Amino acid sequence: MAQVSFGVLNPPRRILMGPGPSDTHPRVLSALAAPTVGHLDPYFLQVMNETQQMLRQVFRTQNELTLAVSGTGSAGMETCVVNLVEPGDRMVVGVNGVFGGRMVDVARRAGAEVTVIERPFGEVFTVEEVAEAVRKARPKLVGLVNAETSTGAWQPLQEIARVVHDAGALLVADTVTSLGGMPMETDGWDLDAVYSGTQKCLSCPPGLAPVTFGPRAIAAIEARKTKVASWYLDMTMVRNYWGQDRAYHHTAPINMNYALREALVLALEEGLENRWARHKRNHLALKAGLQALGLQYAVAEGNQLPMLNAVLIPAGVNDVAVRGQLLNEYGIEIGGGLGPMKGKTWRIGLMGETCHPRNVLTLLAAMERCLTAQGVKVAPCAGVAAANASYAAA
């Protein structure tokens, strides 16, 4: 067989303004390239300790069982569900986007009897809707998506947590997109289990899933009558690796944990409140610019995520052509719609390192060119001017 030369790896440079991953800080990339040590090396155990301490700060929790699951955000979802659900347990899941639907699938695979409550993609659930579903189903667990990546919708959780707990149930929250980019209070909102991902507002490459379990969730895990359906994600074993015993469970992705540690340092150096404010400020400028270009949001005012802007594609505009032009001519990635939103929305991310005025203004200038090429009449520089006015007023 002839030998094939594949050459040097040379990925293109992109501005990642899709639904994730986001741009990565050079310090995080440098951490990935640091020397690898063993997964039980004293140095790495110290990295784990520091990462765990910083995750508690970012999650805004004192929960002892807080760690980074070796897997992407979907592994975080599965970790929370399979550890809290036993065959025959009842669970209520809110589906108003793709990732709520994914939680239903995970729960059913774990043997749960799932009651699905639904809202159209882009809408959110009221406290009353959740309370009624919990009253009827009497579940052990309720699952909701705090930030629905597929639609750009923000689901408030604080009041819902109260009605869930009043009914004796646990609440698990998907914060894959929201963690680090907007207020998220695990203890303050009394959430029982929360999972996230590294590649969104934390601006670390995908590969780890931060999770945290509160006292009620831990009590439920310890009261299980059956083994957790997933050996790899079984917190009764994994927590011993992250705890004082350091019992071997699996070989952790060493360098990915280096990267997450550095990403968390950057987030805490900036300050969470400052980071939340930065995401909101750039979101408002982008929103002003997009609206000046004639683009309308797919989510109602008050429930729009600052880090994921879902806008309706104007009639007659070719979704794929615009995204292709942005990528090929300007190196900008934005996302298309998912599920029933496919071909109807663009998902524009402003997450972590990507969330910067230079990217807002660059995208708006490029989007004006793309829309014009599609025959949309746009006032010259309208988007950029509106964004600059928003920044000036901030």
Tens of pLDDT, residues 132-142: 999 999 999 99
Note the pLDDT of residue 244.
Answer: 85
Residues of the chain within CATH 3.40.640.10 domain(s) are 26-269
Give every strand in the sheet of 65-70, ordered side by side.
65-70, 208-213, 193-195, 170-174, 141-145, 90-95, 113-118
Q: In 75-207, where do the E strands start and end? A: 90-95, 113-118, 141-145, 147-148, 153-154, 170-174, 193-195
Residues of the chain within CATH 3.90.1150.10 domain(s) are 271-393
All residue ranges of the chain with pLDDT < 70 are: none
Note the pLDDT of residue 241.
Answer: 92
Note the pLDDT of residue 249.
Answer: 93
- Find out whether the peptide bond into 12 is cis, omega within 30 degrees of 0: no
Note the pLDDT of residue 170.
Answer: 98
Q: Does domain 271-393 have CATH number 3.90.1150.10?
A: yes
Indicate the pTM of the whole model.
0.96
**Topology of domain 26-269, CATH:** Aspartate Aminotransferase; domain 2 (3.40.640)
Residue 249 and residue 6: Cα distance in Å, rounded?
36
Note the pLDDT of residue 394.
Answer: 86
The answer to whether 100 touches 121, Cβ cutoff 8 Å, is: no
Note the pLDDT of residue 3.
Answer: 81
331-347: pLDDT as tens digits: 999 999 999 999 999 99
Residue 161 and residue 142: Cα distance in Å, rounded?
9
Residue 309 and residue 302: Cα distance in Å, rounded?
13
Residue 333 and residue 349: Cα distance in Å, rounded?
9
